Amino acid sequence: MTAPIRRVLPPSASRLELRDIGAGLASWLARADSRGALARAVRRRFGVRHVFPVSSGRAALWAGLMALRQLSPDRNEVLLPAFTAFSVPAAVVRAGLTVRLYDLDPWTLTPDMAGLERAMSGRTLCVVLCHLFGYPLDVRPVRELADRHGAAVIDDAAQAMGASLDGRWVGTQGDFGLFSLGRGKNMTAVGGGLLVTDRDDLAAALAALPETRRVSRWSAPKSLVQAMALLIAVHPRVYRLPASLPWLHVGASIFDPDFPVTGLDGFRAGLAVRVLDRLEHVTAGRRAVAGRLLAALADAPGIRAVRSVSEPVYLRLPLLPDADWPDGRAPVCPALGVVRSYPLPVHLIAAVAPHLDASRSYPGAEFLARNLITAPTHAFVRAGDVAAMAHLFQGRGAT
Ligand SMILES: *Cc1c(COP(=O)(O)O)cnc(C)c1O
């Protein structure tokens, strides 16, 4: 008898099908205007005026910041949540702007409005809101505050494509918004980002940025190879391999402001048009897994899910202890895809810290960095995995 191959669940995964890759390949080979087709599809789906498909979510954020800065050259500070993906401060640093932070309420991931107000000034270019893990935030109170200070609002829905609040799509409520088509995001095109905006002046400034249009001729064939690798690598029977190779840095949070900014190549754009058609279906699947996990958590002592104001799309299910984990030991289990989230709040990232006011502390973000763990909700999670996670959270599983 052969030993069963151990399954290892990725913490986050977006499933690609061979037919998606076929669609990308077909539109690349046909030299079809797949970027135009993608922009039209996104405009229709989300009801926005302008869409810019670029190489990544952080490229979209960088481009939008550059355009905003051009229109408000006397403002150079960008207000970020003190707990978020490291790509967010990296985009601000790449744009040559200054990072300022506001704290989050760890139990709801919503902005600490008093702290946000204190951080605003005449130098504030914009406030960035991140709908982490697919949990929709209410943009309106932040919009009101930003309006009073003449600052813009950026609706970062890199983790929340398809989420909505009071009938409005998350990502479309700012001066500009963004979605990510990265590997671990709601829908993937192996990589990519979508900047969306209703502002004609911003769109004109964006259209004038050469970086958002240029695409190298090697980009599409490279994307094709990456798509084939991803198709295989996220499978739980295979994932333990890439996850075990330290030089791939799978799942690691790395602060890197030197990322490339280009347009989205024809292969990825063609693939994206196709996968976007499945958004609703994929979201329904994530919600079903999250629902089962939440039911299993109901009687687990000392651990609870982050609360939401409106139904999340659950890119992952974020979980917290009632107080710091005893002895700092969180119930993580990499084989089940239950892992810690971002290891540091933004003000403690070594490359960002020197630029910040060291006297400020962000207790909510610090609590999140010490304690937040996430459970996977993607299509590879089976009933047996949910049962094993329930076991883990009830304190009876291996950690
Ligand atoms: C992933 C992410 C980004 C950047 O998207 P990439 O496509 O990975 O560059 C921006 N903001 C948030 C909140 C993210 O999670």
Q: What is the mean pLDDT of the chain?
A: 94
Tell which atom from ligand 1 comes closest to the C-alpha of 192.
Answer: 7
Mean pLDDT of 131-149: 98
Residue 1 has pLDDT above 50, yes or no: no
Mean pLDDT of 1-25: 84
Tell which atom from ligand 1 comes closest to the C-alpha of 131.
Answer: 13
- DSSP strand pairing (168-169 vs 164-165): antiparallel
pLDDT of residue 227: 93
Placement of tokens 């309106």 in the chain: 140
Mean pLDDT of 104-117: 98
Question: pLDDT digits over 234-280, tens only?
Answer: 888 888 877 777 776 777 788 999 999 999 999 999 999 999 999 99
pLDDT of residue 358: 78
Which residues line ligand 1 at a C-beta cut-off of 6 Å? 56-58, 61, 84-85, 87-88, 130, 156, 158-159, 180, 182, 193
Residue 205 has pLDDT above 90, yes or no: yes
Which run of H or E residues covers position 19? helix 18-29
Q: Degrees (nearest 5) of the Cα angle 106, 288, 138?
A: 40
- Interval between CA 178 and ligand 1 midpoint (Å): 9
Question: pLDDT digits over 331-356, tens only?
Answer: 999 999 999 999 999 999 999 988 88
pLDDT of residue 399: 47
Query: Left, alpha or beta for 104 (phi > 0: left; psi -120 to 50: alpha)?
Result: beta
pLDDT of residue 396: 65
Which run of H or E residues covers position 316? strand 316-321
- Tell me how far apart the alpha carbons of residues 79 and 82 are, in angstroms, rounded to a whole number: 9
Mean pLDDT of 315-328: 95
Mean pLDDT of 278-285: 97
pLDDT of residue 193: 98
Helices and strands (H, E) in the chain, number of each type: 13, 15
Q: For residue 3, what pLDDT band results from cuts at 50, 70 and 90?
A: low
Question: pLDDT digits over 52-78, tens only?
Answer: 999 999 999 999 999 999 999 999 999
Residue among 12, 104, 129, 185 to mutate when testing ligand 1 (max atoms within 8 A of CB): 185
Residue among 52, 88, 133, 254 to mutate when testing ligand 1 (max atoms within 8 A of CB): 88
- Interval between CA 160 and ligand 1 midpoint (Å): 10
